[in-house]
Structure 1
């Protein structure tokens, strides 16, 4: 079963390359109008490096005269970026969202602790009325070389719903230049899961030419959530992320990553 409950594990050779949590909220113009000095001071211990840049946003399309689409250019938005000393943790904030991401994920409890600290300071300073979308994204890049599995095919490591044509016995995966699955599925309790799965190169293969198998799961709840309910929603999204990953991998891959059960 793809989305059944699974035991949690911590992997000695984890394929995770990035974990991102983004929360959207009704526009807070103060974030755009002035430098976030109070917030910057509040997070400086964990995110000492700060930059801000203007980013162009897509135009807004509305109904014009006669029902014809009308394209309305939008003003640029300031993206405030805060980085940890080692550049492995990043915090982004605009007038519409706040996001925390890491390139050094260990386990959910550690990530949630970092996130809780940031959100507590954000809520204290900016007082959002609620959060309109809560999202959690896990990006995995599975390397057969790093796991000592170069003698196996993706068909041996990834379950068939995620590998498409690569699972056919008369298809030589070395001859397939591109094969990807993109799915948007509604799960229980209003949660949606966007999946991207398939072989790919990290950063275009400039530094590493080995094709990795990308398992990218973005699970989100689009609903008005009061600030005090966000931790419970994130716990729910994390459980769905665990289901997605374990439902996608074969036992051979699970064992090769060096699993250790996590006690709840």
Structure 2
């Protein structure tokens, strides 16, 4: 389906909690078998911290040093994950034998995120000769807190579009619903792209159990993609992500978050 077009903006009160991009590829067993020394050298300036994690499940209480030592001696016990982090630990890069993923908790604009992913992906292709990607994913997790926007007394059906609110839409139930969750899979342009979007109400234990509304949207394509075309597809997924969020919210919520035009890069 074609989501209605809307101008791109940046919000002063950005509701984004986390942005994740995961690029999957055919298994590269060498990533499990040996330390990614050359890969690290190519990403170390932006991601200086490193940690090796294993899927091996050890008994609770086992010292981390012992667990890592045992894991190193069990090459077939579980998939390893090489995790790199930026100096402020706001950006986290994860490499395993089947995927490369970047997670950010301080997202501001797409161009910054894209640039942070481009270098590691180039390093992946250079060091492991990745022939193509089997899945390209871009996930946006938004949490809308009315208290942050001075909208505590405004009902959800005045902030969100009817197709999102579900049981919150009728006037007679809007103030009584404490928990609601729904999920939809939507076909998107370009060809072979989709989004799996979950949305609903939840309690935020970090904010005195305030009732918040979350929108968790994973945009993806499972079409085999040549490395040279990966970022073109990511750009297209990002465009759909921007449009979907704007399609979910009313003008009142849009204005409350403080939109302003995108500054030039």
TM (normalized to structure 1)? 0.88
Counterparts of 1:172 and 1:111, CA distance in 2:
37
- The alpha-carbon deviation at position 170 of structure 1 amounts to 1.2
- The alpha-carbon deviation at position 54 of structure 1 amounts to 1.1
Q: Quick check: 2:198–2:216 contact (8 Å CA) kept in 1?
A: yes
Residue in structure 2 matching 1:133, options 132, 135, 140? 135
- The alpha-carbon deviation at position 36 of structure 1 amounts to 1.0
Alignment of 1:35-184 (within 5 A): 35-55=35-55, 75-173=77-175, 175-184=176-185
Provide, for residues 20-54 of structure 1, a one-character-per-residue CA deviation record: whole Å limited to 9, x for no partner: 00000000011011111111222111111111111
Provide, for residues 107-138 of structure 1, a one-character-per-residue CA deviation record: whole Å limited to 9, x for no partner: 11111111111211121111101001000011
Runs of 4+ in 1 over 3 A off after TM superposition: none
Provide, for residues 49-102 of structure 1, a one-character-per-residue CA deviation record: whole Å limited to 9, x for no partner: 111111169xxxxxxxxxxxxxxxx95211111111111100011100000110
Residue in structure 1 matching 2:193, options 191, 204, 207? 191
Change (3 A) 1:56 1:253: farther
Counterparts of 1:32 and 1:138, CA distance in 2:
29
Q: Indicate the larger mover: 119-128 or 206-215.
A: 206-215
What is the RMSD of the two structures over their aligned residues, measured on CA atoms?
1.9
Counterparts of 1:8 and 1:179, CA distance in 2:
29
- Structure 1: 5+ residue stretches without partners: 58-73
Q: Quick check: 2:178–2:211 contact (8 Å CA) kept in 1?
A: no
Change (3 A) 1:77 1:187: same
- SS for the counterpart of 1:163 is helix
- SS for the counterpart of 2:171 is coil
1:222 aligned residue: 222
1:62 aligned residue: none
- The alpha-carbon deviation at position 177 of structure 1 amounts to 3.0
1:18 aligns with 2:14: no
- SS for the counterpart of 1:176 is coil
Counterparts of 2:2 and 2:256, CA distance in 1:
20
- The alpha-carbon deviation at position 201 of structure 1 amounts to 3.1
Q: Quick check: 1:2–1:243 contact (8 Å CA) kept in 2?
A: no
Q: Indicate the larger mover: 13-22 or 112-121.
A: 112-121
Q: Figure out how many residues of one structure are paired with residues of the other and give that number.
A: 245
Change (3 A) 1:3 1:126: same
TM (normalized to structure 2)? 0.88
Counterparts of 1:245 and 1:172, CA distance in 2:
21
Change (3 A) 1:109 1:251: same
Provide, for residues 193-222 of structure 1, a one-character-per-residue CA deviation record: whole Å limited to 9, x for no partner: 1001111134xx156522221011111000
